[in-house]
């Protein structure tokens, strides 16, 4: 009986061992399969992320190098157009500035001037200095309130003369100091020079257009400007415009109307 049990146990052990081995192998195989699938899924996800990132970078690069420059060019064209409009803006009773209008200003010595003219003004003064001539700037931007004070002071000056009625005094004052909102000094583009030195006056008259400036109120254009002749006030209009205005012998009113009629594409 014991011998039979021993033989039985041996067979049972071998059979049991075989089953255990099969189970272990099956378990190992079962564990490998899901891990392999997971790795493949991770690989696919990683590849998808890489492809998506590459596409996004490509789109951004396309925008920066192709689309963006065109947008910048369009913005620049708009900016240039706005700049030209400001440079050729005529300010008078018919074209008054809003009380809140303030241009982009920069400091020039003890004054404020329109940022559009700063570089050319500096260049003109530096070039004049190298020729032994000092151009002294005595006036620049004037605010709405300051202009109103200047006008009222000039009006009182004329009213102090018994020969002037209120109407006549107002008309005379406005030819020298326009009312607030009617003065181009409020644009910061009208510059006043000290021309007590005749050499400074001659230099400006000869060279101003090469730096974008024109005499704003010439003696022979008073019927158009409605401002008395003033040899010390120069208006910045940009180099190209200044050269053309001198060539055509036009004041700003004439030139602005000339362009508005479509005679030149500026």
Residues 84/238, Cβ–Cβ less than 8 Å: yes
Give dist(CA 1, CA 15) in Å, integer: 21
Same domain assignment for residues 41 and 124: no
101: Cβ contacts below 8 Å, ≥ 6 apart: 144, 186
Same domain assignment for residues 238 and 116: yes
User: Which of 87, 122, 155 is the C-terminal boundary of a domain?
Assistant: 87
Residue 45 domain-assigned? yes
- Under DSSP, is residue 138 helix (H, G, I), strand (E, B) or coil? strand
Residue 96 domain-assigned? yes
Residue 102 domain-assigned? yes
Kind and range of the H or E run holding 3: helix 2-62
Same domain assignment for residues 82 and 191: no
Q: What is the largest CA-CA distance in the chain?
A: 157
Same domain assignment for residues 127 and 242: yes
Q: How many domains, the chain?
A: 2
Residue 174 domain-assigned? no
Same domain assignment for residues 138 and 197: yes
- Under DSSP, is residue 262 helix (H, G, I), strand (E, B) or coil? coil
User: Which of 19, 54, 87 is the C-terminal boundary of a domain?
Assistant: 87
In which residue are the tokens 């910048």 written?
Answer: 72
DSSP 78-125: HHHHHHHHHHT---SSSSPPPTT----EEEETTEEEETTTHHHHHHHH
The phi, psi pair for 128, rounded to 5°, reads -65, -40
Give dist(CA 82, CA 76) in Å, integer: 10
Residue 199 domain-assigned? yes
Same domain assignment for residues 250 and 126: yes
Same domain assignment for residues 79 and 96: no
Same domain assignment for residues 6 and 134: no
Residues 124/208, Cβ–Cβ less than 8 Å: yes
The structure's pTM equals 0.69
Same domain assignment for residues 129 and 255: yes
Listed residue (112, 125, 119) closest to 200, CA to CA: 125
Give dist(CA 212, CA 239) in Å, integer: 4
Same domain assignment for residues 138 and 240: yes
Enumerate helices (H) and strands (E) in the chain, giving the number of each.
9, 6
Same domain assignment for residues 7 and 46: yes
Q: Which domain holds residue 245?
A: 91-142+183-260
CATH number at residue 115: 3.30.1380.10
pLDDT in tens for each of the 266 residues of the chain? Answer: 444 444 555 555 556 656 665 555 555 555 545 556 666 767 777 777 777 776 666 655 554 444 444 444 444 443 455 567 899 999 999 999 999 999 999 999 999 999 999 999 999 999 999 999 999 999 999 999 999 999 999 999 999 999 999 999 999 999 999 999 999 999 999 999 999 999 999 999 999 999 999 999 999 999 999 999 999 999 999 999 999 999 999 999 999 999 998 876 54
Residue 196 domain-assigned? yes
Same domain assignment for residues 121 and 236: yes
Residue 82 domain-assigned? yes
């Amino acid at each position: 009986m014991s011998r039979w049990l021993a033989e039985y146990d041996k067979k049972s052990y071998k059979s049991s061992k075989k089953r255990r081995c099969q189970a272990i192998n099956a378990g190992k195989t079962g564990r490998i399969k899901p891990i392999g699938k997971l790795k493949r899924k991770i690989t696919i996800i990683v590849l998808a992320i890489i492809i998506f990132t590459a596409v996004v970078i490509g789109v951004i690069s396309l925008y920066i190098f192709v689309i963006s420059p065109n947008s910048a060019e369009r913005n620049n064209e708009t900016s240039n157009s706005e700049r030209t409009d400001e440079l050729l803006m005529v300010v008078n009773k018919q074209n008054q500035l809003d009380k809140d209008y303030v241009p982009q200003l920069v400091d020039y010595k003890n004054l404020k001037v329109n940022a559009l003219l700063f570089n050319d003004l500096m260049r003109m003064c530096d070039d004049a200095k190298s020729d032994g001539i000092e151009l002294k700037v005595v006036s620049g931007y004037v605010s709405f309130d300051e202009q109103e004070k200047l006008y009222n002071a000039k009006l009182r000056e004329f009213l102090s003369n018994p020969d002037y009625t209120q109407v006549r005094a107002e008309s005379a004052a406005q030819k020298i100091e326009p009312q607030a909102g009617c003065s181009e000094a409020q644009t910061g583009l009208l510059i006043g020079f000290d021309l007590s030195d005749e050499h400074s006056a001659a230099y400006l008259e000869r060279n101003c257009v090469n730096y974008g400036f024109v005499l704003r109120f010439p003696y022979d254009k008073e019927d158009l400007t409605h401002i008395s002749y003033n040899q010390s006030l120069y208006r910045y209009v940009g180099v190209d415009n200044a050269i053309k205005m001198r060539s055509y012998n036009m004041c700003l009113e004439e030139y602005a109307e000339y362009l508005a009629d479509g005679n030149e594409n500026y």
